């Protein structure tokens, strides 16, 4: 089988040239071309580097190399060569061809790197830098804009979005009111910006939210109830669990949410999305040492209530079913992280441990509820008892 090479050169009206390179095999009765590539040569291509293109045809993978150089008149036809590689690399979907439309613009590529860390501030000198991240989803983006706890820098809206969608319209109106730039991008670009997560046509570049410092106010409540309930989280690491806990705690009426800073999930865009934007409304207080904070509250007359699995034994602290507990004094409800639960240090500070009894005989492989589900049940039980005591 003989390989045949040919090229056709066309001169355009604007004095540019288009070179078509073809290669294939000649059959006995017919000619078939298995590959075809196009190289555009412009007057500013002088001295350009080698451009390697890979493709796959009917006979399998092959590759060519195109050399472009300038002649006396500034033009020289591109000379195709067969690759010397006996086993050329097969093209994969992760290797787009030159000029691929699937590539992101330079701005969007910059925005998709590591949660937008260390981005230059547009409003000041290059030495002034800010740290940003990308919120995604209608509720987080809208609430982040309306609450004003973050500095918003750019709102990304999916092209051709239905104008009647209230969340998109409200977010755009709020962005215009706050003079936040709005950029319309394709759905594919939005998918890549938020790593394929559900964005609902909205993404917002903004500064991160951090845990709130207590500022020495652990001794003052500022609560709205005579018997306030604080939710204290130790070592919750799953962002989906943390977001669900924030949403339930806010909905059910917890007076404050606190968390350990170390070995805990930070307040990320995933947490905000899982909370349906509640993270943009409710501040979460962070503590380096929960035990010290609990001791301060105990000295002020608060009680500490922890949680334990229904089948757990060998616990020195009294264990009560959550429905038998009454919220009569200011209370701290401690929730341990996935797997390990509460640390022994915090358990020793508890006045009681609450449990949720199953309503059926469980399979040995099923030991407990998801931490976010258990937290919602416990909060509802405690706050319901508080309302009952007021009657």
Select the more confidently predicted residue: 166 or 278: 278
Q: Residue 11: pLDDT above 50?
A: yes
Please report the DSSP string for 254-282 in residue order: -SEEEEESTTS----HHHHHHTTTGGGTS
Q: Residue 170: pLDDT above 60?
A: yes
Residue reference for tokens 């790197």? 113
Encode pLDDT of 59-78 as tens digits: 344 433 333 444 444 444 44
Q: Where in the chain are the domains?
A: 3-82, 106-206, 229-390
Please report the DSSP string for 190-209 in residue order: HHHHTTT---TTEEEEEPPP
Give whichever of 16-20, 42-46, 286-290 has the largest mean pLDDT.
286-290
Residues 234, 336: Cα–Cα separation, whole Å: 5
With bands split at pLDDT 50, 70 and 90, how would you rate the model's confidence at 104?
Answer: very low
Encode pLDDT of 81-100 as tens digits: 444 444 433 333 333 333 33
- Compute CA distances 306 → 166, 234, 316, 320, 350, whole Å: 42, 11, 12, 10, 6
Query: Which among 71, 63, 82 has a CA at the least distance from the CA of 41?
Result: 71
Q: What is the CATH number of domain 229-390?
A: 3.40.1280.10
SS3 356: coil
- Compute CA distances 304 → 286, 327, 347, whole Å: 18, 11, 9
Query: Which among 137, 288, 309 has a CA at the least distance from the CA of 213?
Result: 288
Q: Tell me the sheet residues that pair with 305.
A: 333, 352
**What does the pLDDT read at residue 220?**
46
Q: DSSP alpha helices (H): ranges in 42-111?
A: 106-111
Superfamily designation of domain 106-206: Ribosomal protein L30/S12 (3.30.1330.30)
pTM, rounded to two decimals: 0.65
CA 198, distance to chain mean position in Å, is: 10
């Amino acid at each position: 089988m003989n390989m045949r090479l040919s090229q056709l050169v066309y001169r355009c009206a604007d004095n540019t040239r288009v070179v078509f390179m073809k290669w294939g095999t000649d059959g006995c009765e017919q000619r078939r071309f298995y590959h075809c590539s196009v190289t555009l040569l412009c007057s500013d291509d002088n001295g350009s580097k080698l451009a390697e293109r890979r493709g796959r045809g009917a006979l399998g993978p092959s590759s060519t190399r195109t050399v472009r150089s300038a002649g006396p008149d500034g033009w020289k036809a591109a000379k195709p060569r067969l690759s010397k590689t006996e086993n050329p690399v097969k093209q994969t979907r992760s290797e787009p061809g030159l000029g691929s439309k699937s590539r992101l613009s330079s701005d969007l590529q910059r925005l998709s790197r590591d949660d937008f860390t260390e981005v230059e501030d547009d409003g000041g000198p290059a030495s002034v830098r800010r740290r940003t991240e990308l919120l995604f989803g209608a509720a987080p983006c809208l609430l982040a804009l309306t609450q004003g706890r973050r500095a918003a820098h750019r709102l990304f809206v999916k092209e051709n979005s239905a104008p009647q969608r209230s969340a998109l319209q409200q977010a755009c109106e709020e962005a215009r009111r706050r003079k936040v730039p709005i950029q319309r991008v394709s759905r594919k670009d939005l998918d890549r910006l938020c790593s394929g997560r559900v964005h609902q046509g909205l993404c917002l570049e903004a500064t991160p939210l951090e845990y709130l410092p207590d500022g020495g106010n652990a001794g003052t409540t500022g609560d709205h109830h005579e018997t306030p309930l604080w939710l204290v989280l130790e070592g919750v690491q799953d962002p989906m669990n943390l977001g669900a806990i924030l949403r339930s705690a806010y909905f059910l009426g917890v007076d404050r949410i606190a968390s350990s800073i170390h070995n805990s999930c930070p307040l990320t865009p995933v947490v905000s999305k899982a909370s349906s934007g509640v993270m943009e409304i409710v501040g979460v207080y962070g503590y380096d040492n929960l035990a010290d904070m609990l001791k301060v509250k105990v000295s002020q007359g608060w009680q500490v209530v922890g949680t334990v699995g229904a089948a757990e034994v060998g616990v020195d602290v009294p264990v009560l079913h959550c429905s038998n507990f009454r919220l009569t004094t200011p209370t701290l409800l401690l929730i341990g992280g996935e797997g390990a639960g509460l640390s022994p240090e915090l358990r020793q500070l508890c006045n009681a441990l609450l449990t949720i009894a199953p309503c059926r005989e469980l399979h040995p492989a099923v030991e407990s509820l998801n931490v976010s589900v258990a937290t919602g049940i416990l909060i509802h039980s405690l706050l319901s008892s508080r309302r009952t005591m007021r009657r």
